[in-house]
Copies of this chain bind each other. A is one copy, B any other.
Amino acid sequence: MALTIGELSRQAQVKVPTIRYYEQIGLLSEPVRTEGQQRRYGPEDVRRLNFIRHARELGFEVDAIRQLLDLASAPDRACGEVHDITIAHLDEVKSKIARLTALRDELEAMVGCDHRRISECRIIEVLADHGQCRHAEH
């Protein structure tokens, strides 16, 4: 019933070196080993790694995931802290979107240059002088 690291890798869609890395940073606990020191995993490890992978896909940092995993193992507690972590992450995502949107507008204004020589190129001009930017800050 025990899975090798390769089987765990396929089931949880996480690369083998990444699994070993997660163990090293304490996100996964040390699994049992065969006599020849090979790792063997059980169904609980599959669940935990799936959780980690999904949280990473949703952009949570490893540190936040560590906290979420700790909280998830205390089913009777209130979920306030889980929400705090998620809302903090959501705020981060929102401000990244805001910054990138401003950036996109700036870049779109720049590519409005109508293809002359570099000495007249609007892109080079703007890069050399932030005063020509729409937004005061980036």
For A68, the closest partner residue in chain B by CB is B127
Query: A54: which of B50, B57, B130 is its contact (CB, 8 Å)?
Result: B130
Given A111-B83, A118-B78, are A100 and B97 neighbors across the interface (CB < 8 Å)? yes
Write out, one digit per residue, whether chain A residues 95-126 have a CB within 8 A of any chain B CB (1) or not (0). Answer: 01100110110111011010111111101101
Total number of A residues with any Cβ neighbor in B under 8 Å: 53
Q: Is the interface of A mostly helix, strand, loop or mixed?
A: helix
**What are 28 A-B pairs with beta-carbon distances under 8 A?**
A54-B130, A55-B127, A57-B138, A58-B106, A58-B127, A59-B103, A68-B124, A68-B127, A74-B118, A75-B117, A76-B118, A76-B119, A78-B115, A78-B118, A79-B115, A79-B116, A79-B124, A80-B115, A83-B111, A83-B113, A83-B115, A83-B123, A89-B107, A90-B104, A93-B100, A93-B107, A97-B101, A100-B100
